[in-house]
Amino acid sequence: MKRTKLASLAIITVIFFAALTQTSQAQLRQVELRVDGLACSFCAYGLEKKLKALKGVKSNLKIDLDSGVVTLFTRENPFVSFDRMLEAVRDGGFTPRKIKVVVAGDVTTPSVLKDDKEAMKVASKIQKTVKEQKLHLPKNQLVLKIEKLNQIFFLLKYPDKNEKYKKYQKSFEKLTSIDENQTVVVTGIMHIPKKKDRKVPMVLFVESFKKR
Amino acid sequence: MKATPFSLLFIVFILNFMLGTFVEAHEPIFGIGPHTIHKYGIGLEAELEGHENNRELHSEVLYGITEDLSVTASLPYHLAEKESGLSSLFVRSKWRFFRDDGIGGSNQAAIAFGVRTPGFQTGPDSFGYLFAATIGREARREYFFSGLRYILNTTNKDGFKPGDLFKYDLAAGIRPVPAGYEAPDLVLLLELNGTYTQKPVVPVSTAHASPGSEDIESGNKLGVGPGLIFTYKNIMLKAGIDFIVVQESKRIPLGDEIEFVFALESHLSPFSYIYGK
């Protein structure tokens, strides 16, 4: 009886530490929201109130009216939801145009995808949501991901055709060649799904990364 | 406690600091603009407006059903030498059906519909209905607004019908120094406010009782109104004076030469906690 109790305790401890390890795997550090429609500090103050009300957002956010950029700093726990962020901006009567994020985590092979079939399913969903950007989505562009609990960022290369993204594309290629489970800090632009496009995979167009 | 303009302004100030606020953007002082309050937002406004001998203190409550649909209830307190007291309750709904946002600016359009209960000017049983359309542009440097309002008045029990009003407004504004976030912000406005007033229908008995009332005519009047909007964080102060520059006939009702507005506005966000969930 005593042995069973001890064994249960050991299992619980292992699960607890495994969970701890998992949560420390990735973190969202900074989010830059490009918000359209911000003309004065009077309306920006309102947006600040709404964003600060989000769990996981620190109180020291910054607003630049001339560029329309709102910079948020996030707590490690709870993980701030992008849906909530976009909802807060939209409900405030503004238009979210772009999200730039800095996220730290481990780059791994796509173990979350069970097989090629699932990989193709995810690829097709992503293709659907970013179709206006004419993105090529061969399977090898999905090989990198950053995982945080159930949050997965699919890292993608910027669209090939645009010259100004060349340096970002080189950065992405370097990222594909680093060791598996290497911890990196990735800066990238998130694709903003439309209001109706819920549950689409989170897509991050890589701009740069740093090994940690 | 007797409601005075200053006590109501004071209450708005206190509520502003106690509850923390959410605010919307700039609007014309005398005219109408396309802005609506944000979803679930509650706004409070105390506005003193009128002429030399005829003033009204408007207490307004505003609620955002969605980010593009708001409802406003306004209760004016009539302040005059002869008779003072609560005037017509006015309820208005505004729907912003178009919004084109860009970096540091927005182009918008809205329509509005409102109902005014009987009051001092109209007598018992005469309701007023507002139909309005407005467009506006707001940017870091400049502002532009234009609005059309038609106020349809109904006939009361005694057979008196106040003249319908057709209001047409243009407003342009400039921010002399584009202020950064958290800095005091000043916008200067110049408004052109026109009103066409229809001749009221006066029953014979009333005409006998107040001689001269049947001589009131239809006509246009046009005013030029300089004004300013000062904001600091979440507090907005609006002030403007409208000078009548053109008046078709001296017998147009409400043909006062100068009209003023002084207002304090703040918008509350008591339900913002729902975003954190």
CB-based contact B275 A50, cutoff 8 Å: yes
Q: Which of B106, B234, B236 sits opposite A39 (nearest CB)?
A: B106
* Chain B interface, best mutation among A41, A61, A63, by max B CB count within 10 A: A41
Partners of A44 on chain B (C-beta within 8 Å) are 181
Q: How many CB atoms lie within 10 A of CB B200?
A: 21
Residue of chain B whose alpha carbon sits nearest to that of A66: B104
CB-based contact B101 A92, cutoff 8 Å: no
Q: For the segment A139-160, what is each residue's pLDDT rounded down to a tens digit? A: 445 445 555 545 677 777 776 6
Alpha helices in chain B (DSSP H): 5-19, 204-209
Answer for the pair B150, B164: CB distance below 8 angstroms, yes or no.
yes
Q: Is B201 helix (H, G, I), strand (E, B) or coil?
A: strand
Q: Which of A54, A65, A84 sits opposite B104 (nearest CB)?
A: A65
Partners of A54 on chain B (C-beta within 8 Å) are 275-276
- In angstroms, the CA A125 to CA A203 distance is 11
Q: Is B148 helix (H, G, I), strand (E, B) or coil?
A: strand
Partners of A46 on chain B (C-beta within 8 Å) are 21-24, 38, 41, 234, 267, 269
**Predicted pLDDT at A32:** 93
Q: For the segment B12-35, what is each residue's pLDDT rounded down to a tens digit? A: 555 544 444 333 468 899 899 998
Q: Which of A39, A49, A63 sits opposite B105 (nearest CB)?
A: A39
- As a whole-number percent, the residues of chain B with pLDDT over 70 amount to 76
* Chain A interface, best mutation among B23, B37, B99, B103, by max A CB count within 10 A: B103
- In angstroms, the CA B137 to CA B140 distance is 10
* Chain B interface, best mutation among A34, A40, A75, by max B CB count within 10 A: A40
CB-based contact B231 A40, cutoff 8 Å: yes
Q: How many CB atoms lie within 10 A of CB B98?
A: 12
CB-based contact B175 A40, cutoff 8 Å: yes
**Predicted pLDDT at A159:** 67
CA-based nearest distance B263→chain A, Å = 16
DSSP-derived secondary structure for B209-272: HSTTGGG---EEEEEEEEEEEEEETTEEEEEEEEEEEEES-TTSTT--SEEEEEEEEEEE-TTG
CB pairs under 8 A between A and B: 123
Instruction: With a cut of 50, say whether residue B1 has pLDDT above it.
Output: no
**Beta strands A202-211 and A151-156, pairing class:** parallel
Q: For the segment A201-211, what is each residue's pLDDT rounded down to a tens digit? A: 677 888 888 88
- In angstroms, the CA B104 to CA A38 distance is 5
Q: For the segment B231-255, what is each residue's pLDDT rounded down to a tens digit? A: 887 778 889 999 888 887 666 555 4
Partners of A94 on chain B (C-beta within 8 Å) are 101
Answer for the pair B212, B244: CB distance below 8 angstroms, yes or no.
no
- ipTM of the prediction: 0.79
- In angstroms, the CA A14 to CA A23 distance is 14
Answer for the pair B210, B123: CB distance below 8 angstroms, yes or no.
no
Q: Which of B23, B38, B67 sits opposite A42 (nearest CB)?
A: B23
Among the ranges A45-54, A122-131, A158-167, which has the highest mean pLDDT value? A45-54
C-alpha pair distances (Å), B101 with each of A37, A97, A133, B40, B217? 5, 10, 21, 21, 44
- In angstroms, the CA A98 to CA A82 distance is 12
Please state the φ and ψ torsions of residue A182, each to the nearest 5 degrees. -70, 135
Instruction: With a cut of 90, say whether residue B261 has pLDDT above it.
Output: no
pTM: 0.78
* Chain A interface, best mutation among B181, B182, B188, by max A CB count within 10 A: B181
CB-based contact A63 B102, cutoff 8 Å: no
